[in-house]
């Protein structure tokens, strides 16, 4: 996705998160379907704690990890999503959990963009936090030459300034990804709100080891993933964890989001068997009813193949479909207290196919545009700084040694090119003192 930026623009690192976890998951999964939503959740929550723009930080990680597919020195199991401590041939730091890895990245950004103390209750987990000159990079565009050295393609541009003017530096390429995220979120089809019934202190119906709140959420999450992978559509959920949300608040969320369709997922109980769907009373002949026909038919096309009874398309005065301002449907996916229905609900393969059928029905009801199957857009991960072979180093010098010494020159800590010829020799005391003095002066600035 080609995005043009203003080379003179500057975007603050500090600020609020604009996008939800679901929107971030949708964005990454268009390229990497195996992306873990736990990672997106951490960027939103940790970014919010620090006042760092976590959604743009996720774009930084996309740039660093090639859409979280890795493939370089850093491995997925390191939970290091920004190459912290990584140099040519050196894999960098490892973090115990996803949240710890994201926190280290957010803290590193916080160190560059702020001079304030850590938020109350937070502990430093970024091993390079104290090495950063606090407040030295307020904007994402300022990270070139600091977080990433040199921060631009030296083979293409004569200087960092030239790369900045061309809009092709480390930070600017992160912003390009963020702008493509904005494009996707604002032009990627209508909005479906999925409402997993009950939750938290309200378990819903129970039977044969099934708790309605849990099963409804499990299916809703699968429907979300099906919709996002198959259609040009946006999806939000009234809940994606085990929390209680009052009925009227669920409807208010959908109204505030200006949803195009509301789908509430439930399970039945109390002496019946089979599948049924509901729209608000009097709306069978309206748009809700037309969409109900499509959703109900798609679901029963699958469920009838496994022997499920069709209890019909009905109307009711349920609050969530009464108070929503857009077309809506409430589906009752089998009876948890019926032995044959419960056996199906406890079958993982059946649940997967049911979720796919629900997504198919929603797609047909809304005439959603199918997502084309395309190769991932080319994204080049950050290239470690390289030095031409004639740069004055002894023949056969490993690239990682060259990169390390070149960094000293980039930072102005080494100035005499003759040191390149002595790369494996110890520095005399006076040279070490000169480097320390230069570093000390930089830290004071």
User: Can you give the CATH number for the domain in which 127 is found?
Assistant: 1.10.530.10
CATH code, domain with 217: 3.40.630.40
Across the range 39-50, mean pLDDT stands at: 96
Q: Within a domain: residue 254?
A: yes
Please identify every residue annotated as catalytic.
332
226 with 354, same domain: the answer is: yes
Is the pLDDT assigned to residue 222 strictly greater than 80?
yes
- Structure-token match 């032995």, residue found: 339
Last residue of a domain, one of 351, 366, 381: 366
Six-digit token string for 14: 């500090």
Q: Where are the beta strands (DSSP E) in 341-391?
A: none
- Check whether residue 228 and residue 196 sit in a common domain: yes
List CB contacts of 366: < 8 A, sequence separation 6 or more.
Answer: 190, 192, 233, 260, 261, 291
Residues 6+ apart with CB under 8 A from 295: 263, 277, 329, 331, 358, 361, 362, 364, 365
pLDDT of residue 4: 66
* Residue 118 clears pLDDT 80, i.e. is over it: yes
What mean pLDDT is predicted for residues 181-210? Answer: 90
Instruction: Tell me, yes or no, whether 9 lies in a domain.
Output: no
What's the domain count of the chain? Answer: 3
State residue 242's pLDDT score.
94
Residues 322 and 359 both lie in one domain: yes
Sign of CA dihedral 272, 273, 278, 282: negative
Is 364 in contact with 294 (CB distance < 8 Å)? yes
Verify that 195 and 179 share a domain, yes or no: no
- Is the pLDDT score of 247 beyond 50? yes
Q: Are 18 and 117 in contact (CB under 8 A)?
A: no
* 151 and 235 share one domain: no
pTM of the model: 0.54
Instruction: Please indicate, yes or no, if residue 13 is contained in any of the structural domains.
Output: no
With a CB cutoff of 8 Å and minimum separation 6, the contacts of 84 are: 92, 93, 104, 105, 108, 126, 127, 128
71 and 117 both lie in a single domain: yes
One domain, residues 282 and 143 = no
Q: Hey, what are 199's tokens?
A: 């939750």
Same domain, yes or no: 221 and 355: yes
- pLDDT for residue 365 is more than 60: yes
Q: How confident is the model at residue 186 (pLDDT cuts 50, 70, 90)?
A: low
State the pLDDT at residue 248: 98
What confidence tens digit (pLDDT) does each residue in 300-355 have? 999 999 999 999 999 999 999 999 999 999 999 999 999 999 999 999 999 999 99
66 and 204 in a common domain: no
Residue 174's nearest CA partner among 239, 109, 116, 256 is: 109
| Arithmetic mean of pLDDT, 125-141 | 93
- Residue positions counted in the chain: 445
CA distances from 99 to 38, 45, 138, 292 (A): 8, 9, 24, 41
Coil, helix or strand at residue 211: strand
Q: Which domain holds residue 170?
A: 21-183
Find out whether 240 and 346 touch, Cβ atoms under 8 Å: no
63-105 per-position pLDDT tens digit: 999 999 998 889 999 999 999 988 777 788 999 999 999 999 9
Same domain? For 298 and 342 the reply is yes
Provide the b/e sequence for 258-271 (b: ≥16 CB within 10 Å). ebbbbbbbbbbbee
Do the domain assignments include residue 153? yes
Question: Rounded to the nearest 5 degrees, what angle is found at the Cα of 378, between the Cα atoms of 374 and 383?
Answer: 160
Q: Is residue 246, in this structure, part of any structural domain at all?
A: yes
The Cβ of residue 94 has, within 10 Å, a number of other Cβ atoms equal to 15
The alpha carbon dihedral of 387, 393, 394, 397 has a sign of: negative
Looking at residue 34, the DSSP 8-state letter turns out to be T
Query: Do 332 and 212 belong together in one domain?
Result: yes
Residue 166 lies in a domain: yes
Condensed to tens digits (0 to 9), the pLDDT of residues 366-394 reads 999 886 544 444 444 444 444 454 457 78
Mean pLDDT of 287-310: 97
What is the pLDDT at residue 77? 94
Residue 278 near residue 334, CB atoms below 8 Å: no
- β-strand partners of 310: 275
Give per-residue pLDDT as tens, 143-176.
Answer: 998 888 888 999 999 999 999 999 899 999 999 9
Query: Cis peptide leading into 150, omega within 30 of 0?
Result: yes
- Report d(CA 227, CA 364) in Å as an integer: 11
Instruction: Tell me which residue of 90, 85, 75 sits closest to 399, measured CA to CA.
Output: 90
Select from 345, 274, 350 the least CA-distant residue to 312. 274
Please state, in angstroms and rounded to a whole number, the distance separating the CA atoms of residues 440 and 433.
10
**Same domain? 211 vs 286:** yes
Average model confidence (pLDDT) for the chain? 89
Query: Any idea what DSSP says for residue 336?
Result: T
Tokens standing for residue 136: 């030295």
Per DSSP, the chain holds a count of helices (H) and strands (E) of: 14, 8
Q: Is 285 helix (H, G, I), strand (E, B) or coil?
A: coil
Helix residue ranges, H only, 121-198: 160-166, 170-187
The interaxial angle of helices 212-230 and 21-29, nearest 10 deg, is: 40
């Amino acid at each position: 996705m080609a995005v043009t930026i203003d080379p003179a623009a500057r975007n603050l690192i500090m600020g609020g998160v604009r996008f939800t976890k679901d929107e971030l998951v949708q964005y990454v999964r268009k390229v990497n379907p195996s992306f873990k939503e736990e990672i997106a959740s951490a960027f939103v929550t940790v970014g919010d704690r620090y006042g760092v723009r976590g959604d743009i930080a996720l774009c930084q990680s996309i740039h660093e990890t090639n859409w979280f597919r890795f493939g370089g020195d850093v491995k997925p199991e390191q939970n290091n999503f920004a190459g912290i401590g990584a140099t040519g041939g050196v894999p960098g730091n490892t973090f115990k959990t996803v949240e710890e890895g994201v926190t280290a990245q957010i803290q590193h950004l916080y160190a560059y963009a702020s001079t304030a103390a850590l938020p109350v209750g937070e502990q430093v987990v970024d091993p390079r936090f104290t090495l950063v000159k606090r407040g030295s990079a307020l904007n994402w565009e300022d990270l070139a030459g600091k977080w990433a050295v040199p921060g631009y393609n030296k083979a293409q541009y004569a200087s960092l300034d030239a790369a900045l003017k061309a809009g092709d530096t480390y930070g600017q390429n992160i912003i390009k990804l963020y702008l493509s995220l904005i494009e996707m979120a604002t032009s990627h089809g209508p909005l479906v709100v999925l409402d997993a019934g009950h939750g938290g202190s309200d378990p819903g119906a129970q039977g044969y080891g099934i708790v309605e709140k849990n099963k409804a959420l499990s299916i809703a999450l699968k429907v979300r993933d099906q919709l996002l992978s198959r259609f040009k559509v946006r999806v939000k959920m009234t809940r994606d964890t085990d929390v209680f949300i009052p009925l009227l608040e669920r409807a208010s969320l959908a109204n505030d989001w200006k949803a195009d369709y509301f789908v509430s997922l439930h399970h039945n109980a109390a002496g019946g068997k089979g599948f049924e769907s509901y729209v608000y009373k009097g709306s069978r002949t309206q748009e809700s009813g037309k969409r109900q026909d499509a959703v109900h038919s798609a679901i029963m096309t699958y469920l009838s193949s496994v022997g499920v009874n069709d209890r019909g398309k009905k109307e009711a005065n349920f609050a969530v479909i009464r108070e929503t301002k857009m077309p809506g449907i409430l589906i009752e996916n089998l009876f948890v207290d019926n032995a044959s229905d419960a056996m199906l609900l406890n079958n993982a393969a059946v649940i997967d196919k049911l979720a796919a059928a629900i997504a198919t029905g929603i797609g047909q009801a809304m005439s959603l545009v199918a997502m084309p199957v395309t190769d991932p857009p080319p994204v080049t991960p950050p290239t470690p700084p390289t030095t031409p072979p004639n740069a004055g180093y002894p023949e056969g010098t490993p690239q990682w040694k060259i990169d390390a010494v070149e960094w000293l020159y980039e930072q102005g800590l080494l100035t005499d090119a003759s040191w390149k010829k002595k790369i494996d020799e110890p520095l005399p005391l006076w040279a070490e003192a000169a480097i320390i003095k230069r570093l000390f002066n930089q830290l004071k600035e």
